[in-house]
A and B are shown apart, each in its own frame.
Chain A
Amino acid sequence: MLIKINGLEEEVAVASLSELLTARGIDPAARFLAVAVNGTVIRRSEWGSKSLGPGDDIEIVKPFSGG
């Protein structure tokens, strides 16, 4: 299915949010990560159960330097 990850459209074959993170080489246990799907933050405890569908818009963020 086609989804959008951090602004880029990609074809993926995953069922859940945690599967997507793992498939992208992101350790779902890594600290200081946050994820939103379609403008709603998904709590870490729900990453495993959060199913994804075609057209979903996913933001994966972490803290960087800032002023």
Chain B
Amino acid sequence: MTDPFLIAGTPISARLIVGTARYPNQQVMLDCLEASGAELVTASIRRISLEGYAESLVDLLGGRYRLLPNTAGCATVRDAVLTAELAREALETNWIKLELIGDRELLYPDVEQLVRAADELVRKGFTVLPYCNEDPVTCQKLADVGCAAVMPLGSLIGSGLGITNPAAIELICSRSPVPVVLDAGIGTASDAVLAMELGCDAVMVDTAIAQSHDPRRMAAAMRAAVEAGRLARLAGRIPKRRFAEASSPQLGLVGS
């Protein structure tokens, strides 16, 4: 059964996108990426330490994954655009996970600046995947300025609260002209299943894997969850009913 997942016309082999941060150590991260089956993995762009050695993430990943750099932590259009341009130079990719943070404690997107930055980056030739509110109007605006996908939040980054507004996510999925990637808030596998059942094209997970008790197992669980949710979505759930409907035949009942 073929079920291609494309972003900006590029086939992506897995509907689970994973982060590379917050793992107990590098080996666990590498094992988790492997277990997750992900092709697309995220990275940040940061100032180098001017003293001493620092890990080289790209060398560590050894060309096995497609890196999606982010603009995590940026709070202004200028910083986000410059970070994207630096990422393009460093990683030779025009793909960018655009994050524009409006509140340091909540890490909630600054929608007004996000749309402006997305517009500017699209004009500069970037393939933009914006982390955004679970708001159909914001998602529409981001698609209108040419974003390749939208990445609405399930709940606050790193919160593990799951999808706090499933009706909004479902609405976004039903109307979005571009792929919808559920980003942020996933706590465990059932959250990822729900995201896919609601119609998301993919799910992005970092903390829920990296900070779990057994990250390797959770990576495998997330992979299975995304696959299960996608299959269920394609299969179509039965309607919810208010009364029972017997599954065993009603004819030939003993004693009738």
Contact = CB atoms under 8 A, between A and B. Distances in A.
Contacts of B91: 32, 63
A67 B209 CA distance: 11
Nearest to B46: A64
B47 A67 contact: no
Contacts of A65: 19-23, 29, 43-44, 55, 57
Contact of A63 (B45, B157, B206): B45
Contacts of B82: 36, 39, 41, 59
B78 interface: yes
A6 B45 CA distance: 13
A34 B89 contact: yes
Given A65-B57, A67-B207, A24 B50 contact: yes
Given A36-B86, A41-B85, A61-B48, 7 more contacts: A6-B50, A31-B58, A33-B48, A59-B82, A63-B69, A64-B55, A65-B55
Interface string B30-65: 000000000000111111101000111110000000
B22 A63 contact: no
Interface of A: 5-7, 24, 26, 31-36, 39, 41, 43-44, 59-67
A44 B92 CA distance: 12
Interface residues of B, number: 37
Interface in B148-204: 157-158
Given A63-B90, A65-B20, A67-B22, A32 B56 contact: yes
20 contacts: A6-B50, A32-B56, A33-B90, A34-B86, A35-B86, A41-B85, A41-B89, A60-B47, A61-B46, A62-B48, A62-B90, A64-B45, A64-B55, A65-B55, A66-B19, A66-B45, A66-B70, A67-B20, A67-B42, A67-B207
Contacts of A34: 45, 86-87, 89-90
B20 A6 contact: no
A43 B88 CA distance: 10
A41 B86 contact: yes
Contact of A6 (B47, B58, B69): B47
Interface in B202-229: 206-207
Among B48, B50, B57, max chain A CB count under 10 A is at B48
B72 interface: yes
Contacts of B44: 63-67
B144 to A, nearest CB: 27
